[in-house]
Structure 1
Amino acid sequence: MSSLAEDAKPFLTSESGESSFDLAPAERSRLQQDRSSGPGWRRRLWLSHVIFLGFNVAFLIYNIGDVGKHVGPEAAVLERAYSPAQMAISYTVKEEAPMLPDNLLTGPPGPEADKAWEELEKPFMLRFSEDEMDRMQKTSLALKDGSGYIGYLESFHMLHCVKSAWKSQYMDHYGSGHSTKPGHLAHCLNVLIQGIMCNADISIGTYHWKEGGTIKGKEMMDIEANRTGHRQCTDFSKLQAWAEKRTLDFDVHDTDKFLRTLKPET
């Protein structure tokens, strides 16, 4: 049985054996803080940090997976349609102007018009490296000097087709060459249709009356398209500059000279 002296001992004592009830208030507060900052408290704090970090990592993984569901397929498609010219593509917004009747590219034939078309479609036959061909998963005719393979940008092919359609209006001036033959024009129309559908222009055109008045008494011939406004466009001059650095010496009037630069078939 415990003695009365043992029963009189305080239940809580400090490390020095003093009762916490015998301590001054300031000392008792310090003792309680020391106990609250002991190993157990630190373990609980560390565990809470681990749980919080784990939650954030799980949330990050979920978001990466969710983004991949939306971006992944599109990125895969873009990789299949890879073109070395992608690095030369940038966009700008232009103020669209009405068609100009004195445009050299659509006006009557002549030396100035021929020169304008020549400059526009000049970077037609281009050089591509073996690595670029591999990434595009394509093959082409090799250059004899081993510097690469020949190819062209589809945008310049479409410009060539527009030129062929333009020349077909002036058969008396240009004659009935290959570019104005019905078979070639049908090919060009198909190229242009595919190109327009592939790169659909979503700018909006509107209409107005040619002359003032009300709808009453008007006919469809009195309605005119209004093609003014802002339009998102490819910076074509940048693409042209990129292509010109790869342009091969190709003269449509002397194709034999170009053919001699190609590696013969083995």
Structure 2
Amino acid sequence: MEIVHTEALRKTFGSFQALNNVQLSINQGEIYGFIGPNGAGKSTTIRILLGILRSTEGKASIFGKDVWRDAVEIHKRLSYVPGDVTLWPNLTGGEVIDLFLKMKGGADPSRLKKLMERFDFDPAKKCRTYSKGNRQKVALIVAFASDSELFIFDEPTSGLDPLMERVFQEYVLEAKERGHSVLLSSHILSEVERLCDRVGIIRKGTMVEQGSLDELRHLTRTTLYVETKEAMDDLGQRSGVHDLKVSGAGMTFQADRDELGSIMKAISEKGLVKIESSPPTLEDLFMRHYEGDEG
């Protein structure tokens, strides 16, 4: 069942076009990774989904309801964590958590206690004393303590140490196991690759790729390490071979998928001794779309 759906979504600010024909969908029980550099349109898309901004053109719905007209009803069933959480400085973390959860209809006390323990969070301190990471923890604890059907995370682990990032990832996977959906916008490509069922890459306000990692990997290159009995001095000049590095008896390079057969045939003719292959990563795919972009 489709939980989130956008169709031909456009947003302009004066003469600047922030989004152009953005189409994405998130199904029930799915973790969707939304990636792109700063200024690509991720946060603008998320703000439209949250009913904070109104799209210039197109449609967007969550739970089958219009994100602008039915924002109040939608927010009862979702949790949102931004990349920079602002809290009331004179309240304690525990008081803020209680306030937010009361607005969400309450939470299981035992689950809330476990979340605070897992995130190593002290609820007794005033919010003005919290680091950025601890402010993020407040929002994450509220989100995971509530029984939301959809979680929208916009750079949620900003400021968290690697151990807390792992705790966050565990709770995201737990939400998926309970049949809930997640929209995860993140700069940490390894996190997206580990967690997400499908990925969408946005570039200058336009979706340039969308699909599962397996579906997208055919669009990029495979990394190979080979050793041959005879020297292969012309490998770097072959079609489909990129970034060749020679180290002792071995050669490491990237190969275009459609040229892989001819490359391997040429290598085998030199007496193949050893070969190691690693599939393309999400970072490889991401960088391929942004190679040559300024900044």
> TM-score normalized by structure 1?
0.20
The structure richer in helix per residue is: 1
Structure whose alpha-carbon radius of gyration is higher: 1
**Larger proportion of strand:** 2
Greater relative contact order, per chain length (Cα 8 Å cut-off, separation 6+): 1
